[in-house]
């Protein structure tokens, strides 16, 4: 089995794969204060609840945008699974050509999403990840990571409204059903949710045009959405073609297989010499 960690600023999503297929997944809160032992006990209980044997885990792979959590999970991997974790970063084979000015600045989650989406849906495509930040990534037909856009996520925007104003309260992130609202709660929900939908629709239109200009082709650009709030945003706009909640975990499994083949090939060559 393969244990995959997708570490975001708000949540850690874990997936367990057997023979290339995901058999279960869980979501934990990202907590810089938790030790490897605390996470280890939680994950051990999750394995026990699902009837899984930790000894069957052959490898661990980690994608993280939270550097402070990386050491904790690497330590957990060695102590509780007796494996040195594969970490998404420089030197990892992905199959993408990254066109960013500084490729090291691209978040590992964005790279992993791009690998999965291009493998599943082909290109050109736009990937929108509705996480703590809402990110837009443009991928060419030739699997080139061209670049993208980063905007504040819905939760960040909601928290900012509450924290930076004297009278506005915390609100649930849900559609109020109308934009002409008659109370503060609905007014905030309208601005947050429908404002986000409008932003997504505008950026996707601009990005599609730029992608087609880049490639010199009018080929249809697919739009793939992932992340916890993807379904809610998708319900109010027409520009998203597919909502794929497990995109990042599936990307980690694909990258694992790419690198496992590379390691096996290198090992075979060394034996020949």
Overall pTM > 0.85: yes
Quote the mean pLDDT of the chain.
Answer: 92
Q: What's the pLDDT score for residue 260?
A: 85
25/28 Cα distance (integer angstroms): 10
107/228 Cα distance (integer angstroms): 18
Strand 59-64 to 86-87 pairing: parallel
Tokens read off for 224: 């793939």
Query: Does the pLDDT at position 168 exceed 50?
Result: yes
Cβ burial 10-33 (10 Å sphere, 16+ → b, else e): ebbbbbbbeeeeeeebbebebeee
Query: Does the pLDDT at position 40 exceed 80?
Result: yes
Interval 106-119: pLDDT, tens: 999 999 999 999 99
- Average pLDDT of span 215-221: 89
Q: Please list the active-site residues.
A: 109
């Amino acid at each position: 089995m393969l244990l995959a960690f997708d570490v975001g600023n708000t949540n850690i999503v874990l997936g367990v794969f057997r023979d290339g297929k995901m058999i279960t997944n869980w979501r934990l809160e990202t907590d810089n204060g938790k030790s490897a032992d605390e996470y280890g006990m939680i994950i051990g209980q999750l394995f026990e609840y699902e009837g899984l044997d930790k000894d069957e885990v052959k490898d661990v792979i980690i994608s993280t945008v939270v550097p402070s959590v990386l050491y904790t999970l690497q330590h957990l991997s060695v102590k509780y699974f007796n494996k040195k974790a594969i970490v998404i970063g420089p030197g990892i084979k992905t199959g993408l050509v990254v066109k960013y000015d500084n490729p090291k600045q691209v978040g590992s989650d964005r790279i992993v999403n791009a690998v999965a989406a291009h493998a599943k849906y082909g290109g050109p495509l736009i990937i929108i990840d509705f996480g703590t930040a809402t990110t837009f990534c443009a991928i060419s037909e030739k699997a080139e990571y061209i670049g993208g856009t980063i905007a504040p996520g819905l939760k960040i925007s909601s928290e900012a409204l509450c924290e930076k104003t004297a009278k506005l309260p915390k609100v649930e992130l849900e559609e109020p059903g109308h934009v002409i609202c008659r109370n503060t709660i609905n007014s905030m929900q309208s601005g947050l949710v429908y404002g986000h939908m409008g932003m997504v629709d505008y950026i996707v239109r601009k990005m599609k045009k730029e992608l087609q200009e880049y490639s010199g082709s009018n080929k249809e650009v697919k739009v793939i959405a992932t992340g916890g709030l993807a379904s809610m945003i998708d319900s109010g706009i027409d520009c998203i073609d597919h909502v794929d909640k497990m995109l990042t975990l599936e990307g980690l499994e694909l990258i694992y297989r790419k690198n496992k083949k590379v390691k096996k090939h290198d090992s075979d060559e060394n034996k020949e010499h």
